[in-house]
Chains A and B, each alone.
Chain A
Amino acid sequence: MHWQIDLFILTLVIVCALAAINVRDLLGAAVLFGAYSFLMCLLWAIMGAVDVAFTEASVGAGVSTVFFVAAVFQTTRRSKD
């Protein structure tokens, strides 16, 4: 494994996680959460878990983001914290 790529993606994952829970716009949180899931999927593909990475790419980055956006559409975009 190339540790530089690994470390770079791990840093991005943490940045995305912090941004997703701190941004005030819930639609932005949905997009950041999708990016987080996709970076996680890359990380697992690097570690050799191809099946898990495939599942995360279709489930975490795909369908759960859509559910999230649908829920935001039905509720509200604003959040106090």
Chain B
Amino acid sequence: MKRIGLIVVILCGAVLLYATRDFPAWGDPASPASTHVSPHYIEHALQETEVPNLVTAVLADYRSYDTMFETLVIFGAGVACFLLLRSFGARRREGWYVRHIPTGVVIHFRKRPRIPHSRFFERLDTEWVPHDLIIMTICRILLPFIQLFSLYVVAHGDFSPGGGFQGGVMFGASLVLMAISFDLRTALSRVGERILALLAFLGVVLYGGIGVLCMLLGGEFLDYSELAKILPVHAEEARALGMIGVEVGVGIAVTAVMAVIYVNIASAGRHDEGL
């Protein structure tokens, strides 16, 4: 099998290497990829949409139909992870561990204990017991800054590198960091599973809703210049504002989906203990 694989790979590679001879020269401004539609984007995007970052302009305005379905694919991936892994039955376990915080003594129970809700006791994971004061404190200090930066990345995506996808992934990563540095139950008690599902749905609906709003105002689907009828700006700025709206939708959906995928993989769908 290995030898056949190697032969197939080398044959494919040889064909591709032969094909590179017909490629345009490296960095050629007149290559076919840079001549048809992209000069129009570069020369007219600022005039038509008031957005200097061309990538955002093309992503969220000229090709926003494409981006909407990309968001839907990500939402579908989150749903797929949930359906594949989530299990609601309790697992067979060897016991429960509870720590008495003032003394640091760990108590082992054979059966499920009834822990009073107090600040003196905390439940520990059976497989992985991270309790590091330094890590927890540093992450507690860092988390708000990470989240603020991710919001900045979403909001400033029109002017600098960034946008809904990057900002959403970073916000999702901050939730993941919370789950790693404390434990999975702490993170899930802050942002629960239902809230995450609702947020993922809300992001996609926000994107589609802006498109439908444009239709209701008399334009085509996702034609943001129609938003000028209800906003006190002219048509070009309305397109920039519509872009920010859909970027926020993308950001919310991506945030929620990243957290859902992480939580399901890290706990194998049980949501009680994990990395």
Residues of A participating in the B interface, judged by any CB pair closer than 8 Å: 50-51, 53-55, 58-59, 62-63, 66-67, 69-71, 73-74
Contacts and interface: CB of A to CB of B under 8 A. Distances in A.
Contacts of B176: 63, 66
B170 interface: yes
Contact of B266 (A53, A55, A58, A73): A73
Contacts of A69: 275
Question: What is the size category of the interface that chain B forms with chain A?
Answer: 20 to 34
Query: Binding site of B, secondary structure by majority: helix, strand, loop or mixed?
Result: helix
A55 B173 CA distance: 13
Contacts of B268: 74
13 contacts: A50-B161, A51-B55, A51-B166, A54-B162, A55-B166, A58-B166, A58-B173, A59-B169, A63-B176, A63-B258, A66-B262, A74-B265, A74-B268
Given A63-B172, A70-B262, 13 more contacts: A51-B163, A51-B166, A54-B166, A55-B169, A58-B166, A62-B170, A63-B176, A63-B258, A63-B262, A66-B262, A67-B261, A71-B265, A74-B266
Interface string B240-275: 000000000000000000100110011110000011
